[in-house]
Structure 1
Amino acid sequence: MDKNQLLSKLWEQYASITPSAKKIHTLLEEKGEMIQNDHIAIRTFNDPRINITVLEKPFLAVGYEARGEYVFESKKLYAQHYEHTTDTNAPRIFISELELEKCSSSLQETVKTILDNCNQNDFMHPELVLNGVVWKSNSQEIYKALLEESEYAAWMYVYGFRANHFTINVNALNHFEKLEELNNFLEENGWKLNASGGKIKGTPEQLLEQSSTLADLYTINFEEGSFEIPSCYYEFALRYIMPDGNLYQGFVASSADKIFESTDVKLQN
């Protein structure tokens, strides 16, 4: 699978449970915009069977390399971002993992049991990052127990391996010079934005501003019944020029921390 096929499949999988992304795409295209993707984010656990080192493999195989690492202490996450070595227009890849050893013993045991009960060969799949849920995930009781401690863990339990969000490159838009202008346009058209930490996370001084929609709600069929659970969201990123004249390529941990909350159940009301 080449780079374009991999990225295309990630988009198809993401868009299938995130109808708002397609609608926003269409809304901007009707305004004459050509959408460029800034980055794609993926979640996992730091269990050695499925950690970042495992999920990065298909990206490394198509020309990506690791460029930056980030720590989110309050959410117990570690992340790395990747850039393509030859295609400067290729979206960055952002892979995060929940640091299980920092979580409660009950969460650790729950995740271990979920993974132990899988067909271990599934974790060897070269395109694991596209395989969604490879474990049994139909217990609302388990979902709620994970949710009490970690929204991130609960999301992973339900949705598994897939893009958690795609991101519009605001620098490439013609009609919006400022992120605030894009946010206003989206709100005028009925979209709710993640206001945790402010609708715009980051500052020009930090060289990156980000905003995002709240995650779509998607119906999950648990054994206890069908319930709507936040799925994925669409992000918007505006990058600034560094003193050396180049565009900033990295991420700001304090901003990304709040962006993670776009899938938070508590923000949906």
Structure 2
Amino acid sequence: MKPEIALHLYSLLWQEYSARVNHARTYQQMITAAGGTVANDHIALRSLRLSLDSPKGQINLGINYLEQLATALGYVAAGEYIFPETHLYARHYSHPQQVEFDLPKLFISELIVDELPPRIAQLIYTTVSLLQYELISPVTDSLIEDGNVESIAQQLQKIFTRPWQTPQRSVVEEVNQVTQYGAWVLLHGYAVNHFTGYINRQNTIQYPDIDATVSGLINLGVPMKTEIEGDIACGLRQTATQAVTEMVTVLDDRTGAEIQIPWTYAYYEIAQRYPVEIEPGKHLLFDAFLGKNAQQLFEMTTHKLPASITN
């Protein structure tokens, strides 16, 4: 039942994400029109490593919170990645029935807030402390087992929102100057950061590899990252569309009213995996991630403020 719940949940999340990221829809249409298959290599999520006191005890808003969901769906941690320069830590999770049910991997990262300059850390703490506790609830086995697949998936979908109240504009802009990742999470919360088209499963002569796929997307007017990260020897090559910009809601510092400003949301990634030698004469398809590649992709959501703000 758990794999079925996961698949239904991902379908709901894809509907929401692809409605916001038109580049993902273009990819889907391009591959489908060529008679190919749209498969998902992994889903990426972002979070904040910090704890808050609540009526129900301490709540960790980082990987530990999202890991509850991964574990409840049957996923297990399969690798970890450290990014000291940007104060990020990540784990990826795989499912033991990944092949049988065509389940994507999960790549969950967190910003280590306590490593940031004290003022920036305090701004983040103050913002997320305005928590709507009804949106933060533990994922238990009883929740997974109680009800039908569709209703459970709809309940779990509520996790992928922003559980704290609307942030102040000045806070988001100041945090952004130190950590674009932190500003992104303050605005978007636990919304899906990106889905990933899995090149190996496209099964279309027209787009046999990542290079042809990139060319196809560019021909359709999709703005792409300038480089493909990784190489065949490492077992993974990946790239992405540029992030879409959308209007987000923030609080005006002068009036306290909600206003709309443009900000980056998400990109669509594509990835191709290759066999790597794990022992003499034995090769397996690389099934993990490369830290350097991931760092490059983190930066795809960088939002550049006008000079009047950044100077």
The structure that has the greater radius of gyration is 2
**What SS class does the counterpart of residue 41 from structure 2 fall into?**
strand
Question: 1:121: how far off?
Answer: 4.8
8 Å CA contact retained: 1:9, 1:130: no
Q: Is 2:132–2:165's contact at 8 Å kept on the other side of the alignment?
A: no
Hey, what does 1:238 align to over in structure 2?
272
**1:249 aligned residue:** 287
Q: How many residues align?
A: 264
Q: 2:121 is matched with which residue: 108, 114, 135?
A: 108
Distance 1:129 1:41, change over 3 A: farther
* Cα separation, 2, equivalents of 1:122 and 1:227: 25
Runs of 4+ residues deviating >6 angstroms: none
Give the Cα separation in 2 of the matches to 1:142 and 1:111. Answer: 8
Amino acid of the residue matched to residue 265 of structure 2? S
Partner of 1:61: 72
Q: TM-score, normalised by structure 1?
A: 0.92
Equivalent residues in 2 for 1:222-233 (5 A)?
A: 222-224=250-252, 225-233=259-267
Distance in 1 separating the partners of 2:81 and 2:251: 37
Aligned equivalent of 1:78: 89
Q: Given the alignment, which residue of 204, 211, 229 partners 1:201?
A: 229
2:208 to 163, 173, 177: 177
Letter in 2 for 1:252: L
Is the contact made by 1:10 and 1:130 (CA closer than 8 Å) also made in structure 2? no
Q: Amino acid of the residue matched to residue 7 of structure 2?
A: N
Query: Secondary structure of the equivalent of 2:197?
Result: strand
Answer yes or no: is the 8 Å Cα contact 1:122–1:128 preserved in 2: no
Q: Give the distance between the partners of 1:101 and 1:76, measured in 2 at CA.
A: 9
Alpha-carbon displacement from aligned partner over 1:155-182 (angstroms, at most 9, x marks no partner): 1011111210000000112232332211
Q: How does 1:21-170 map to 2 (within 5 A)?
A: 21-48=24-51, 49-88=60-99, 89-126=102-139, 127=156, 130-170=159-199
Shift of 1:223: 3.4
User: Identity of counterpart residues, as a percentage?
Assistant: 26
Alpha-carbon distance between aligned partners in 2 of 1:90 and 1:180, rounded to the nearest angstrom: 25
Q: CA deviation digits over 1:235-269, x for unaligned, max 9?
A: 000101022322100000001100111111249xx
Q: CA deviation at 1:125?
A: 4.7
> 5+ residue gaps in structure 1?
none
Counterparts of 1:22 and 1:125, CA distance in 2:
32
Counterpart in the other structure of 2:303:
265
Partner of 1:10: 13
CA-based RMSD: 1.8
For 2:24, the aligned partner's letter is A
Gaps spanning 5+ residues in structure 2: where? 52-59, 140-155, 253-258, 306-311
- 1:16 deviates by 3.2
CA distance in 1, matches of 2:75, 2:213: 30
